[in-house]
Copies of this chain bind each other. A is one copy, B any other.
Amino acid sequence: MNKYELQVMQWLKDNRARAARFLQILVRENSTRENESSTQAIVIEKCRQLGLLLDIWEIDEAELRSHPAYCCDRKGFEGNPNLVAVLKGSGDGRSIILNGHIDVVPVGDSSSWNHDPFSGLIECGKLYGRGATDMKGGNVALLMAIESIIANGIKLKGDVIFQSVIEEESGGAGTLAAVLRGYKADGAIIPEPTNMKIFPKQQGSMWFRVTVTGKAAHGGTRYEGVSAIEKSLLVINKLQQLEKVRNARITDPLFKKIPIPIPINIGKISSGEWPSSVPDTAIIEGRMGVSPEETIKSAQLEMESCLEELSNQEEWFRKYPLKLEWFGGRWQPGSINSDHPLMNELIKSFEVVKGDGPVIEASPWGTDGGILSTVGNTPVVVFGPGITETAHDANEHIILEDMFAASEIIALTLLKWCEIDK
């Protein structure tokens, strides 16, 4: 390590307590959807103190509405701004976007939590609370990495573009707005909770709904009706087959440890209103994984033609067609080569900090990286300190040691990627 790297590493070690305390402050603010402003205000103040160039704006739905990657049912964005804060480089260096979302998912059943979901409680090296892992811990790692460079008076050649966006959990409108506002870079890191794994590829995903029609009848003469539940079994069965076919095609070694790289998850079924009636409608809702090698559109077409095939096999469906809708969330897949220069820098930095190589895999879920890479043409690596398993769950928490290590790895990567202007 050169002296700059040593300075940065030392500074980050000296400021661990401050980093933990900052995460605690962020976690104690509830930033569920449409309530992002108070947390965003804390991040803005932090960036102002760091002397970054601030761009704070409210998303204009009218501008985004017609974009094919826009997927959002939010009524309004007033009062809950997006933030981009830039550490300008001196020029001639590679730029980087450091992207984190500030929104968190709802608490769920609060009785499942051992403590207040917004406690920020620290116990045995873990910090608890909604958002600790997904992904305020990652955001703190980013901000501490930036601060370590500024605090040590280091100048970089390339721009560091920090983004604190809203709406990631509901389809990515915040990052899309930042891309359409013009923010692109030579690379990007998104510290989503990857358990410190490095994900050069991210699975995309989208929600679907299949409506199955039956024919009502009294349960005592059920043979006079056609059960929408029984017909739904054919649909579920067909979707299970489709999942097998689609996954058999995945040969990328990054997926080799993942039992089902791009799952088709049947998340909901609802049919019938009365135990002794034959149900005439069933609604199936689920999530379809999209591989980094395909597009949202091509995956949609594949499911559409799969259900068309079923309709051709089943006379009932020819008369009463299945209805397939794409609704709600949609996350673009993302991908860069495993030997992309940003990957190399990140892996080397990881080895320096951890003394061992990272696990490199494909992510089982989508992130804003999909939009950044497919719409913003910015190569994205997803790597962060949060614990995948506790995201969206009760008693969400992060291991602080991992957050500290992630900030060191990211800081070293910035020094190499953006290059020090000596």
Contacts and interface: CB of A to CB of B under 8 A. Distances in A.
Interface residues of A, number: 50
Interface stretch (A30-38, A258-266, A371-379, A404-412): A258-266
A289 interface: yes
Contacts of A126: none
B275 A267 contact: yes
Nearest to A277: B267
A274 B108 CA distance: 12
Contact of A287 (B220, B259, B329, B364): B220
A295 to B, nearest CB: 18
User: Which of A219, A233, A274, A276: most chain B CB closer than 10 A?
Assistant: A276
A229 B270 CA distance: 10
Contact of A286 (B259, B270, B275, B388): B275
A244 B282 CA distance: 24
A388 B278 CA distance: 16
A392 interface: yes
A4 interface: no
A269 B267 contact: no
A332 B332 CA distance: 57
A172 to B, nearest CB: 14
A269 B269 CA distance: 7
A287 B275 contact: yes
A363 B220 CA distance: 9
A93 interface: no
B270 A270 contact: yes
B285 A267 contact: no
- Interface pairs A-B: 3 shortest CB-CB: A219-B265, A268-B272, A220-B365
Given A209-B275, A267-B277, 15 more contacts: A203-B220, A218-B364, A218-B365, A218-B392, A221-B365, A222-B260, A222-B263, A223-B263, A229-B266, A268-B273, A268-B275, A269-B271, A272-B285, A275-B285, A275-B287
